[in-house]
Amino acid sequence: MARKLRKYVVPSILGTVGISLLTVSGLYLNETKPVNSNYKFTVSKQEEKVIPVINDVSEIKPLKPYLEDTVGKQKDYYSRSDDEQTQQNSLIYYENTYMPNTGILYSSEEQFDVIASIDGTVKKIGEDNILGKYVELEHENGYKTVYYSLSETAVTEGKIVTKGDVIGISGTNKIEGSLKNNILFETYHEGYLMDPEEFYSVDFSSNR
């Protein structure tokens, strides 16, 4: 014979069940409720920093026509805008005549490799009666470089060279006969002479 529950027992059981249900519901809501907007914003900012947009192109500038530390500047490029002292060091004396230097004359106590200042094509190889053997390179956007006073050449006409490739070996010329290892470096743009120091600042990356 089943026993009847006392009147105060039923409400107690219902109350206990109700509290349990509320507790479970609260836990469920805590587990599933959406993350507050501030937290989502913080994550978004962190993601932007972790995955940056890379849209950078490194500059590509010419090298000087040598790599050895023993090579130095002997004569500057002559410019009318230079001060008097610089102009005097840019004059070449040959057969009782002073002439403006058309490039930069580099020299060294030791023989050194002459390299391509920037990517290009060997346009011409020749020999000048005063300046000696030379290599002429043609570059993009109307630029041209000429490497005079070589004792030997290491390229052929039509050859494509890369920046830093050896194109010859330092030699002599009749202008500075006392120097056994030198090179006269000329640079042009659209057929006009330019200061090699300015040429070294030209950025060729926009042509790639």
The span from the CA of 99 to the CA of 91, in Å, is 5
The span from the CA of 135 to the CA of 26, in Å, is 85
Domain boundary assignment for the chain: 9-50, 72-207
pLDDT at 84: 87
pLDDT at 27: 42
pLDDT at 115: 98
Q: What is the maximum alpha-carbon separation in the chain?
A: 142
Going from the first residue of the chain to its last (208 residues), give the mean pLDDT of each consecutive group of 10, the final group possibly shorter. 46 46 44 47 46 60 97 93 87 88 95 98 96 97 97 98 98 82 97 97 82
Q: What is the pTM of this model?
A: 0.71
Domain 72-207 fold: Glucose Permease (Domain IIA) (2.70.70)
pLDDT at 116: 98
pLDDT at 207: 56
pLDDT at 9: 44
The span from the CA of 113 to the CA of 160, in Å, is 18
